[in-house]
Structure formats: C-alpha cells, structure tokens
C-alpha cells in the first residue's frame, strides 16, 4: 500500500534523511522508531507530499507522490506532529471543513462523517468548543479525527501518543489497533513499549538511515535478556 523508495532530504549541509526504503502492506502497523532528529518527521512529510524529496519517491496505493501529489493526499490520513488545527474554529466547524475538502459535500453525508469520527475519537462532549481551548489530549484527538474522516486506506501518524497521559495513550493504541486490519499504518514514536504493544513491524532509523527493519520479537531476540532500550541504544549510537 505504501512504498517508500530511496528517500533523501538534505537541509543545508545536513542529510536529514539518507536513502530510506521500505514498504507497508494493508494490515500492517509499522513502528517508525528513532531518537529525536533521526529524520522520522521529514520522511513522513515526504510520503504525504508536504515536502519534495531531493531523491527517491513514495508510492501510495499505486500513485507516485512526485507525479500526482493530490492523488496520494486523497488516499492518506495524516496526523502531523503536534496535531495542527485552526485554533479559532470549533471542533465541529473544523471537522466539517475537513469533510468538505475531502469531498463530502452533501449535508447528510457530511454530517454522518463528522458524527462518526466524533464518536470514534470521543470528542462529542467538546464538539462546540473552540480548538484553542482544548487540552493537549483533546487537540490530539481532533488531529486523529481529521485524519480518519474519509476512512483512508493508508494512515501516517507522527507521534500520535506524544504528550498524552497513560490512559489516553492506551485509548489511542486501542483505536489504532481496531482500525489496522484493513489499513496500512505508519506511526512514529520514541516510546519502545508502544512498538511492542501495537506494531507488527519496526523500523529503527538513526541519522536518516535504517539500522533495523524487523518484527518486534526479532528485535528483542537480537540480545536475549537485554532490555529493549538497551538494544535501541546499541543500534542508534
């Protein structure tokens, strides 16, 4: 579903992403793991067509993002890091706007979509609140709702549980797991337990390069008896 081929991005004289290649099939949840500044967000921005790669490309549902970026954007749900949203809009207004942009113009259909994601992400109680008045956890849910509104076949989530309390983290993980069967999901994180908890596969990157691409259990088997964060440290330093 998502095919990433040799992505490269350089900022000034710094290689943020240095030749990343992988594929994600439907039903897979890929954990994108790496220390801060490893190039996770930059890779995701190239997959979603927000920034243009210096080399390489991404193909989503058979569409090349370099050839038809809008076509790729139609198939993707994307939660950018820190879940940006228009602060002066209410949750409802914002989701209605996203629904319209996603092509649900008929009133009934639009309402159905918005209601569905409001329930799915437990936002019903704050639906008439402006986004600027929401707590971090609720803001994150708005970002989630926005990414799910068109039931996309591919999801790209940049640190979806960042800044949430343990209960909220758990809730988000349950939500992701419940949708994963028919979707291809990439999620970035720097929390190791998260990977074990929900990912079917894990890619570890450091300084823009892939240093491991395997199942969580294979990762654990690298150093039997060692803690996951020890293995992570060995790989990324």
Partner 1 sequence: MSQIRPLFKREFLGYFRSPVAYVFLIAFLLISVSLAFSRYGNFFKAGTASLETYFLFFPWLFMFIVPAVGMRLWSEEKRSGTVELLFTLPVTTLEAVLGKFLAGWAFLTLAVLLSFPMALTVAFLGDPDWGIIASTYLGAILMAGAYLGVCALTSALTKNQVISFVLSLAACAMLVFLGLSSFTTTLESFLPVGIADVVSNFSFVTHFDAFTKGIIDPKNVAFFLSLIGFTLFLNVVALER
Ligand X SMILES: Nc1ncnc2c1ncn2[C@@H]1O[C@H](COP(=O)(O)OP(=O)(O)O)[C@@H](O)[C@H]1O
Q: Which residues bind ligand X (CB under 6 A)?
A: 11, 16, 34, 36-42
Non-local CB neighbours of 187 within 8 Å, separated by 6+ positions: 29, 30, 31, 32, 155, 156, 157, 158, 159, 160, 176, 194, 198, 199
Indicate which single residue of 13, 36, 88, 106 sits in contact with partner 1 (rule: CB under 8 A). Answer: 88
Report, in angstroms and rounded to the nearest whole number, the Rg of the chain calculated over CA atoms: 18
User: Which residues fall within 8 angstroms of residue 83, CB to CB, at 6 or more apart?
Assistant: 139, 140, 142, 143, 144
Q: Pick the closer one to partner 1 by CB: 86 or 221.
A: 86
Chosen residue from 82, 129, 207, 236 binding partner 1 by CB under 8 A: 82
Binding at 62: pick from ligand X, partner 1, Mg ion, none (beta carbon under 5-8 Å per type): none
Question: Using H for helix, E for strand and C for coil, what is the string for 130-166?
Answer: EHHHCCHHHHHHHHHHHHHCCCCCEEEEECCCCCCCH
Q: Are 188 and 158 in contact (CB under 8 A)?
A: yes
Q: Segment near partner 1 (CB under 8 A), from 27-35, 54-62, 85-93, 205-213?
A: 85-93
146 binds partner 1 per the rule CB under 8 A: yes
Q: How far is the CB of 48 from ligand X (least distance, A)?
A: 13
Judged by CB under 8 A, which stretch of 26-34, 70-78, 159-167, 214-222 contacts partner 1? 70-78
> 3-state DSSP call for residue 72?
helix
What six digits make up the tokens of 72?
A: 């790729």
Q: Shortest approach of partner 1 to residue 226 CB, angstroms?
A: 37
Beta bridge partners of 20: 7
Q: Could you list the residues that contact Mg ion (CB under 5 A)?
A: 41, 81
57 binds partner 1 (CB under 8 A): no
| Whole-angstrom distance, CA of residue 173 vs CA of residue 69 | 29
Least distance in angstroms from the C-beta of 50 to ligand X: 11
- Return d(Cα 177, Cα 181) in angstroms, integer: 8
Question: Judged by CB under 8 A, which of 22, 32, 78, 144 binds partner 1?
Answer: 78
Q: Given the rule CB under 8 A, which residues bind partner 1? A: 45, 48-50, 70, 73-74, 76, 78, 80, 82, 84-89, 97-98, 100-103, 146
């Amino acid at each position: 579903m998502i095919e990433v081929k040799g992505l490269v991005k350089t900022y000034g004289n710094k290689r943020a992403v240095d030749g990343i290649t992988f594929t994600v099939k439907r039903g897979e949840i890929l954990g994108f793991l790496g220390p801060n500044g490893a190039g996770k967000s930059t890779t995701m921005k190239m997959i979603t067509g927000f920034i243009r790669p210096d080399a390489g490309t991404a193909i989503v549902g058979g569409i090349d993002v370099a050839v038809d970026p809008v076509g790729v954007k139609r198939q993707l749900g994307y939660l950018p890091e820190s879940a940006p949203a228009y602060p002066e809009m209410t949750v409802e207004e914002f989701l209605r706007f996203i629904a319209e942009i996603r092509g649900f113009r008929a009133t009934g259909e639009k309402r159905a979509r918005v209601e569905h994601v409001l329930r799915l992400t437990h936002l019903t109680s704050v639906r008439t609140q402006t986004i600027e008045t929401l707590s971090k956890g609720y803001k994150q849910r708005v970002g989630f709702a926005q990414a799910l509104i068109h039931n996309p076949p591919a999801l790209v989530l940049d640190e979806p549980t960042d800044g949430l309390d343990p209960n909220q983290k758990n809730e988000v993980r349950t939500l992701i797991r419940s949708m994963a069967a028919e979707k291809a999901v990439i999620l970035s994180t720097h929390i190791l337990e998260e990977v074990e908890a929900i990912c079917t596969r894990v890619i570890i990157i450091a300084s823009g390069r892939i240093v491991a691409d395997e199942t969580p259990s294979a990762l654990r088997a690298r150093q039997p008896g060692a803690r996951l964060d020890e293995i992570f440290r060995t790989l990324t330093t």
